[in-house]
């Protein structure tokens, strides 16, 4: 199967748990689909109205550490921010020396990374990222994935091991933004491999014995019409 592969790297990255608001902020070990689609938008310079989209990705890091930082916790009423803010010192986990590999079947989307419009960040403002290379590969398809790692897989119907988190697929460009397609996902770190009854593509260059990459089949057509 022909896929367009984008390799990105960053010194630091952090992906917050959507359901944790205060206290220690751990990081997810793999970015949610919405983060990767947000990165596509930053590269494109605009909000992309996807209808159907096929995308896979793999994320790895060298180390995890904890930062101490000041935050402003801002109150909201009916989804709108108020000026009620409390400053606080929190511990926030982050990942060090990270690599993100994105697999796209649509070459137009991959092309955005050749000259990204906005600065690319893996998580927050300080997590500046670099596009390492963009290649087109012909990767073999496997009917039953045996080496899934460094990615998120929808939990429903698959019931895979890994940390289970409710994660959004995308955000709307309305005000305020709404998350779209939130559902439970198994967050599978790059450190553990999982077998599944799932079709995937096999990338032999990831890890010692290769990694299977699940291609998310995203369908926003219903939602996009509603907007």
* Long-range Cβ pairs for the range 203-210 (8 Å, 24+): 203/58, 203/101, 203/103, 203/137, 203/139, 206/58, 206/101, 206/150, 207/147, 207/149, 209/147, 210/147
Among 20, 74, 164, 227, binds other proteins (CB under 8 A): 74
- Please identify, using beta-carbon distances, which residue of 90 and 142 lies nearer to other proteins: 90
* Long-range Cβ pairs for the range 71-75 (8 Å, 24+): 73/21, 73/22
CA distance 112 to 189: 27
Name the region of 23 (left: φ>0; alpha: ψ -120 to 50; beta: rest). Answer: left
Among 24, 47, 108, 135, binds other proteins (CB under 8 A): 47
Residue 220 lies near other proteins (rule: CB under 8 A): no
Residue 49 lies near other proteins (rule: CB under 8 A): no
CA distance 143 to 113: 30
Residue 81 lies near other proteins (rule: CB under 8 A): yes
Is the Cβ–Cβ distance between 14 and 123 less than 8 Å?
yes
CA distance 5 to 138: 10
- Please identify, using beta-carbon distances, which residue of 25 and 186 lies nearer to other proteins: 25
Letters for 3-42 (x = contact with other proteins by CB under 8 A, - = none) are ------xxxx-----------------------------x
Q: How far is the CB of 193 from other proteins (least distance, A)?
A: 21
C-alpha 190, offset from chain centre: 13
- Please identify, using beta-carbon distances, which residue of 71 and 142 lies nearer to other proteins: 71
Letters for 92-131 (x = contact with other proteins by CB under 8 A, - = none) are ----xx---------------x-xxxxxxx---xxxxxxx
Q: Where on the chain is the footprint of other proteins (CB under 8 A)?
A: 9-12, 42-43, 45-47, 62-63, 65-70, 72, 74, 80-87, 89, 96-97, 113, 115-121, 125-131, 171, 173-177
């Amino acid at each position: 199967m022909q896929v367009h592969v984008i390799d990105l790297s960053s010194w630091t990255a952090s992906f917050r748990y959507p359901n944790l608001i205060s206290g220690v902020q751990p990081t997810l070990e793999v970015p949610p689909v919405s983060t990767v689609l947000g990165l596509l938008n930053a590269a494109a310079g605009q909000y992309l109205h996807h209808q159907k989209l096929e995308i896979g990705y793999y994320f790895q890091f060298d180390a995890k550490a904890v930062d101490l930082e000041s935050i402003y916790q801002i109150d909201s009423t009916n989804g709108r921010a108020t000026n009620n803010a409390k400053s606080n010192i929190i511990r926030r986990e982050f990942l060090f020396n990270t690599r993100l590999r994105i697999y796209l079947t649509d070459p137009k989307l991959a092309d955005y990374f050749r000259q990204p419009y906005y600065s690319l960040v893996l998580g927050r403002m300080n997590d500046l990222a670099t596009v390492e290379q963009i290649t087109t590969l012909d990767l073999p398809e496997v009917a039953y994935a045996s080496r899934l790692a460094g990615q998120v897989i929808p939990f429903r119907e698959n019931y895979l091991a890994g940390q289970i988190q409710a994660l959004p697929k995308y955000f709307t460009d309305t005000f305020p933004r709404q998350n779209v397609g939130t559902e439970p996902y198994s967050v599978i770190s790059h450190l553990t491999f999982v077998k599944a009854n799932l079709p995937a593509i096999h990338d032999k260059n990831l890890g010692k014995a290769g990694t299977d990459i699940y291609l998310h089949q995203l369908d926003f057509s219903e939602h996009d019409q509603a907007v």
